[in-house]
Copies of this chain bind each other. A is one copy, B any other.
Amino acid sequence: MSAFLGLYIHSFRIHTIAHSPITTMSHSYTEENYIKAIYKLSANGTQEVNTNAIAEVLETKAASVTDMLRKLSAKDIVNYVKYKGVSLTEQGERVALQIIRKHRLWETFLVEKLKFNWDEVHEVADEMEHISSTLLTNRLDEFLGFPKFDPHGDPIPSETGEMKQIKQRLLSDMEVNDAGVVVGVNDSQPLFLQYLDKMGIALGSKIKIIDKIPYDNSLEINLEDNKKLLISSEVSKNIFLSA
């Protein structure tokens, strides 16, 4: 087999071979966390991700990040140019999407099947997303009925990395008299989600903007056609409504 591959490399295209998934390379727990962090940071802006940003989200030091970037670059997971920032290669993006798939499927499992609250699942899923078996991932997906969105409204990548993209806009970007349904949150931290629970805001809640206070950009909203609420700017920047 090894001999055959050797032949193949010499007869055809070396480059394709190097990038192809003949060796479905596996990555350490740590490498996977870096890959996910880079994916999430590049999802926002379209530019290269910088070292300090990665260090911050992973709660590590810039020097450690540089080490890892060199390593991931050698593995062809990232495009890395010294001092110029980093981005995922196609292979890297595929890996990232599989980690995110697992994260969001497990979050869905925890909420749907084990009755976790949506603010309790992130930390646990951060561990479970590293379980390697793809059979497990696909069976879990099936068991859950092939869900397209996780408990925070985030899309779940399919086995091939595709996700449903829904049109959404931030509550903070809407105008008086606009209305919509809550379809996602921009922040999955427990404190924020607990606040939403307390206010009675959940995925699926109907919201209409009644008034906008220019002084601090807070909003007066109507929740489910009856309850009036005051929402700060910080909060409205973290709620997505259907567009």
Within 8 A of B (CB), among A85-130: 110, 113-116, 120, 123-124, 127-128
Any B CB within 8 A of the CB of A132: yes
Within 8 Å by CB of A114, from B114, B127, B131, B136, lies B136
Majority secondary structure of chain A interface residues (helix, strand, loop or mixed): helix
B127–A140 touching, CB < 8 Å:
no
A7 to chain B, nearest CB (A): 33
Instruction: Kindly report which residue of chain B lies nearest to residue A124, judged by CB atoms.
Output: B133
Please give, as numbers and ranges, the residues of chain B lying within 8 Å of A133 by CB-CB distance. Answer: 123-124, 127
Within 8 Å by CB of A120, from B124, B128, B132, B135, lies B135
Within 8 Å by CB of A140, from B114, B131, B142, lies B114
Please give, as numbers and ranges, the residues of chain B lying within 8 Å of A123 by CB-CB distance. Answer: 133
Please give, as numbers and ranges, the residues of chain B lying within 8 Å of A135 by CB-CB distance. Answer: 116, 120, 124
Within 8 Å by CB of A139, from B116, B127, B128, B140, lies B116
Any B CB within 8 A of the CB of A143: yes
Please give, as numbers and ranges, the residues of chain B lying within 8 Å of A132 by CB-CB distance. Answer: 127
Please give, as numbers and ranges, the residues of chain B lying within 8 Å of A115 by CB-CB distance. Answer: 139
Question: Which residues of A approach B to under 8 Å, CB–CB?
Answer: 110, 113-116, 120, 123-124, 127-128, 131-133, 135-136, 139-140, 142-143
Query: 15 interchain pairs (CB within 8 A)?
Result: A110-B136, A110-B139, A113-B143, A114-B136, A114-B139, A114-B143, A120-B135, A123-B133, A124-B133, A124-B135, A124-B136, A127-B131, A127-B132, A127-B133, A128-B131
